[in-house]
């Protein structure tokens, strides 16, 4: 049999060489040689390829039996059998059973007689009800395929099922067309399938590519590859990769806290302004109970701190905090920070040192984890709780405006401006009403809402929290005050330390002016700050606006005078400069006069090297020049004195 090159096969099929190689690889064509010496054996090619080769005169029809090519080798048939549908595999097995019945009777009757009896229901009623009537020619074909396929049911899979499974989506496309489609569609800009098809057809004008074929091929691209290319690695991991399933039996109340923000879909009014309010909530993961929350105009690290303050002050510390990935949750107030601050070393020299300022999380939790972006399942209980709030709270409030353009009521725009001669609406709740109603709804949710999630069993959050509670892990007031305080690095100035435009003072700061200190402002008492040095040692508790003019001058001057007297006491108690030097040694001028007395009558130079002879023409040594300069200076001063 003739051996054909890739180019010859490509010309016969009207395909590119790359497309031929791709198809041959998928269909396991037999070949000899490698590289440029690669030759294909026609006996392994499918019927349509052989027909094209015969039509082009590349092979002779008598050299190959096309009927035999309807069967693949046994291994390929076995793969097709496993890839077929359950229904098609069952049909193949019933055909094999019918052939088995004929093999038992073939010595006693002809095949035509067997088929006639089968069609009359005389052989097997159940098989006839499943397979239906069979022609003698069809049974001949089944028998031939069965024997050539190695007497296995895999050879009897219905042809339409095998063909459909073997072709697959995009089989009619060339490899080059598939590459172009992938190039134009697998982009992070997420273009549509139609746009990728249009650009591919423009790039390959010689190929006929229908949109349905291109769309089916693009839809068949594995999701893990599609999402990685179009949405990025993070989104791919979230959508397509496995995740750990939570086991609620491992958790107790206050073992894990979850926190996030939520913007309500209704308007409230405050100081004449309309806006959508926010809530920052802290939820116990095991019971879904809201253990702390804080309403706000816009969420921030302060609202987070206040929500956690309410949770920890009432229910104690936790083992794990799982929170959102936003920048406000990652603020250094909550996570801590490392700053370069000026400190005095052991030798008393001022130098810069990296000082670690502890954040709130580390003081009332053992560990902190952050949710991955686009991974709502990691804090799914919080998301589902906010969904409940949206349905039962937001949509029942006056001033509901919807979460998107589909759900937005028709008159929502009238809240902000009048349209079509209709007056602006003000039927909304005030801020104070919103806060009261939110607090009541949170209490209702904790006490009455019956959860159906994992571990809830139809119980309310309060019931689950009480059933799964453990001895409270209390947090001392001192640690609580330190945890929920804003730590900042500041330099002590004349009026103390300045934080957010407010000066804080205590008389202990008199001796720390110019030094860098750590200032902590407590949430529960914003009028005071706790000041410590860079090592964490407490210096004092300072008061806000200590020297701010109050209108009572007598009181203001009394406060300032007391601080000045304190400064004088510090000065007197320091003992600096109490030692008196000896007589004649109290200034640099006196010490210089005593060490270098002036002798204007001396004609000798101040110093002459030992053993050297005086020479008339020798230049004056440095010491002699100094004497001459001093003599001239004295003479000049005498002259000035005479003129006076």
For 267-294, what is each residue's pLDDT tens digit?
A: 898 988 888 999 999 999 889 999 999 9
Share of the chain above pLDDT 90, in %: 15
Is 45 in contact with 31 (CB distance < 8 Å)? no
Using pLDDT thresholds of 50, 70 and 90, give the confidence band for residue 81. Answer: low
Does residue 481 fall inside a structural domain? no
Q: Is the pLDDT of residue 376 over 70?
A: no
What's the confidence (pLDDT) of residue 166? 43
Name which residue leads in pLDDT, 609 or 312: 312
pLDDT at 221: 92
Q: Is the pLDDT of residue 536 over 80?
A: no
Mean pLDDT of 445-456: 85
Q: Helix, strand, or coil here: 506?
A: coil
pLDDT, tens only, 548-596: 888 888 888 888 889 888 888 888 776 555 566 666 555 677 767 776 6
Q: What is the dihedral of CA 144, 150, 154, 159, to 10 degrees?
A: -30
Strand partners, 529: 521, 542
Claim to verify: residue 333 and residue 438 sit in the same structural domain = yes
Residue 293 is predicted with a pLDDT of: 93
Owning domain of residue 619? 593-643
Question: Is 478 a member of any domain?
Answer: no
HSE of 199, CA atoms in CB hemisphere, 13 A:
14
Name the residue with tokens 């008199």.
510
Q: What is the pLDDT of residue 375?
A: 52
pLDDT above 80 (res 388): yes
Residue 425 in any domain: the answer is yes
The answer to whether residue 51 sits within a structural domain is yes
Average pLDDT over residues 193-208: 91
- Of 210, 168, 202, the C-alpha closest to 184 is 202
Q: What is the DSSP string of 205-244?
A: TTS---HHHHHHHHHTS-HHHHHHHHH-HHHHHHHHS--P
CATH code where residue 186 lies: 1.10.10
Q: Is 353 inside a domain boundary? A: yes
End-to-end CA distance of the chain: 137
Among 560, 561, 569, CA closest to 495: 560
Whether 584 is covered by a domain: the verdict is no
- Co-location of 31 and 94 in the same domain: no
> What span, in angstroms and rounded, lies between the C-alpha atoms of 45 and 29?
6
In the chain, pLDDT over 70 holds for what percent of residues?
A: 72
> 39-53, 180-194, 305-319, 337-351: lowest mean pLDDT where?
337-351
Closest residue by Cα to residue 76 from 110, 132, 31, 26 = 26
Task: Return the pLDDT at 581.
Answer: 65
pLDDT for residue 644:
47
DSSP state of 316: -
Q: What is the pLDDT of residue 606?
A: 47
Q: Which tokens go with 485?
A: 């305080």
Domain with residue 369: its CATH number is: 3.30.420.10
CA distances in angstroms from 508 to 495, 516, 530, 635, listed in the order given: 12, 14, 12, 59
pLDDT of residue 601: 55
Same domain, 187 and 229: yes
In this structure, are residues 600 and 631 in contact, taking their beta carbons and an 8 Å threshold? yes
DSSP string, 408-471: S-GGGGGGTS--TTPPPP---EEHHHHHHHHHHHHHHHHHH----STTTTT--HHHHHHHT---
Q: What is the pLDDT of residue 161?
A: 47
Q: Last residue of some domain: 240, 265, 293?
A: 240
What burial class does residue 363 get, using C-beta atoms within 10 Å of its C-beta: 0-12 exposed, 13-18 middle, 19+ buried? Answer: middle
Count Cβ atoms below 10 Å from residue 639 Cβ, excluding itself: 9
Predicted local distance difference test score (pLDDT) of residue 324: 67
The residue written with tokens 């007031």 in the block is 477
Same domain, 290 and 350: yes
| 289, part of any domain | yes
Same domain, 410 and 557: no
Closest CA to 329 of 418, 257, 386, 389: 257
Query: Both 263 and 321 in a single domain?
Result: yes
| pLDDT attached to residue 164 | 43
How many domains, in total, are found in the chain?
A: 6
pLDDT: which is higher, 312 or 616: 312
Q: Bridge partners of 542?
A: 529
Q: Residue 290's pLDDT is what? A: 94
List of residues 6+ apart from 497 with CB closer than 8 A: 490, 491, 503, 504, 509, 517, 519, 529, 531, 542
Residue 46 pLDDT: 80
Given a contact cutoff of 8 angstroms between Cβ atoms, the answer to whether 620 and 614 are in contact is no
More confident residue, 365 or 330: 365
Query: How sure is the predictor about 72, in pLDDT bands with cuts at 50, 70 and 90?
Result: very low
597 shares its domain with 635: yes
Considering the domain architecture, whether residues 404 and 455 belong to the same structural domain is answered as yes
For β-strands 528-532 and 516-522, DSSP reports them as antiparallel
Last residue of one domain, picked from the residues 192, 219, 240: 240
Report pLDDT for 281: 92
pLDDT band at 377 (very low <50, low <70, confident <90, very high): low
359 within 8 A of 323, measured Cβ to Cβ: no
| Per-residue pLDDT, 71 | 42
Q: Is residue 1 part of a domain?
A: no
> Taking 90 as the threshold, does the pLDDT of residue 440 lie above it?
yes
Given pLDDT bands bounded at 50, 70 and 90, which one contains residue 626?
low
Contact 9/51 with Cβ under 8 angstroms?
no
| pLDDT greater than 60 at residue 597 | yes
Average pLDDT over residues 436-440: 94
User: What integer pLDDT is reported at residue 623 of this predicted model?
Assistant: 56
Out of 388-397, 590-599, 609-618, pick the least confident: 609-618
pLDDT classification of 340: cutoffs 50, 70, 90: low
pLDDT at 163: 43
Residue at which a domain ends, from 520, 540, 573: 573
Examine the domain organization and report whether 287 and 406 are in the same domain. yes
232 and 256 in one domain?
Answer: no
d(CA 220, CA 447): 49
Average pLDDT, the chain: 78
For residues 476 and 138, the model is more confident at 138
Asked if pLDDT for residue 181 goes beyond 90, the answer is yes
Mean per-residue pLDDT for 35-58? 78
Q: According to the model, what pLDDT value does residue 434 have? A: 93
Whether residues 184 and 162 fall in one domain: no
Q: Are residues 223 and 368 in the same domain?
A: no
- Within 32-120, where are the H helices? 47-55, 74-83, 86-105, 111-119
In this prediction, residue 349 carries a pLDDT of 56
């Amino acid at each position: 049999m003739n051996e054909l090159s890739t180019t010859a096969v490509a010309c016969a099929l009207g395909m590119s060489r790359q497309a031929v190689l791709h198809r041959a690889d998928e269909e396991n064509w037999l070949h000899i040689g490698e590289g440029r010496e690669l030759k294909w054996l026609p006996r392994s090619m499918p019927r349509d390829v052989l027909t094209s080769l015969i039509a082009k005169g590349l092979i002779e029809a008598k050299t190959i039996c096309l009927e035999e090519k309807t069967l693949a080798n046994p291994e390929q048939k076995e793969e097709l059998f496993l890839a077929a549908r359950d229904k098609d595999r069952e049909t193949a097995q019933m055909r094999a059973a019918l052939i088995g019945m004929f093999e038992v009777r073939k010595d006693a009757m002809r095949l035509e007689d067997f088929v006639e009896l089968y069609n009359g229901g005389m052989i097997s009623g159940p098989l006839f009800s499943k397979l239906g009537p069979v022609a003698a020619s069809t049974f001949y074909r089944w028998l031939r395929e069965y024997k050539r396929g190695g007497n296995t049911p895999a050879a009897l899979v219905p042809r339409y099922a095998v063909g459909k499974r073997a072709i697959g989506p995009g089989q009619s496309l060339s490899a080059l067309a598939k590459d172009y489609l992938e190039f134009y569609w697998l982009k992070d800009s997420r273009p549509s399938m139609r746009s990728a098809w249009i650009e591919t057809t423009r790039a390959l004008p010689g190929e006929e590519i229908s949109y349905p074929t291109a769309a089916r091929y693009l839809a068949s691209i594995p999701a893990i590859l599609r999402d990685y290319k179009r949405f990025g690695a993070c989104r791919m991991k979230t959508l397509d990769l496995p995740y750990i399933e939570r086991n609620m039996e491992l958790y107790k109340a206050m073992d894990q806290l979850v926190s996030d923000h939520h913007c309500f879909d209704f308007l409230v009014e405050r100081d004449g302004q309309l806006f959508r309010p926010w809530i920052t909530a802290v939820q116990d993961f095991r019971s879904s109970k809201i253990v702390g929350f804080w309403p706000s105009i816009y969420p921030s690290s302060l609202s987070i701190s206040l929500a956690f303050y309410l949770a920890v002050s009432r229910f104690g510390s936790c083992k794990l905090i799982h929170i959102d990935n936003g920048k406000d949750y990652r603020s250094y107030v909550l996570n801590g920070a490392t700053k370069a601050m000026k400190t005095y070393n052991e030798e008393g020299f001022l130098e810069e040192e990296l000082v670690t300022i502890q954040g709130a999380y580390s003081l009332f939790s053992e560990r902190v984890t952050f949710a991955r972006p686009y991974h709502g399942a990691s804090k799914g209980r919080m998301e589902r709780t906010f969904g409940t709030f949206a349905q039962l709270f937001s949509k029942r409030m006056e001033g509901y405006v919807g979460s998107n353009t589909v759900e937005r009521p028709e008159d929502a725009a009238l809240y902000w401006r009048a349209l079509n001669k209709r007056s602006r609406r003000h039927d909304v709740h005030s801020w104070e009403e919103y806060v009261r109603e939110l607090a009541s709804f949170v209490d209702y949710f904790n006490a009455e809402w019956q959860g159906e999630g994992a571990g809830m069993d139809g119980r309310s959050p309060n019931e689950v929290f009480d059933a799964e509670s453990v001895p409270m892990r209390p947090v001392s007031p001192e640690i609580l005050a330190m945890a929920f305080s804003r730590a900042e690095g500041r330099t002590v100035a004349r009026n103390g330390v300045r934080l957010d435009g407010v000066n804080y003072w205590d008389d202990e700061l008199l001796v720390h002016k110019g030094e860098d200190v750590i200032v902590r402002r407590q949430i529960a008492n914003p009028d005071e700050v706790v000041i410590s040095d860079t090592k964490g040692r407490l210096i004092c508790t300072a008061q806000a606006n200590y020297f701010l003019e109050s209108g009572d001058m007598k009181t203001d001057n009394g406060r300032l005078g007391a601080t000045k007297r304190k400064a004088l006491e510090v000065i007197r108690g320091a003992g600096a400069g109490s030692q008196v030097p000896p007589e004649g040694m109290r200034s640099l001028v006196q010490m210089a006069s005593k060490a270098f007395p002036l002798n204007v009558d001396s004609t000798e130079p101040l110093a002459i090297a030992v053993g050297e002879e005086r020479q008339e023409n020798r230049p004056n040594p440095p010491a002699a020049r100094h004497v001459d300069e001093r003599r001239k200076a004295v003479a000049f001063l005498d002259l000035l004195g005479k003129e006076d």
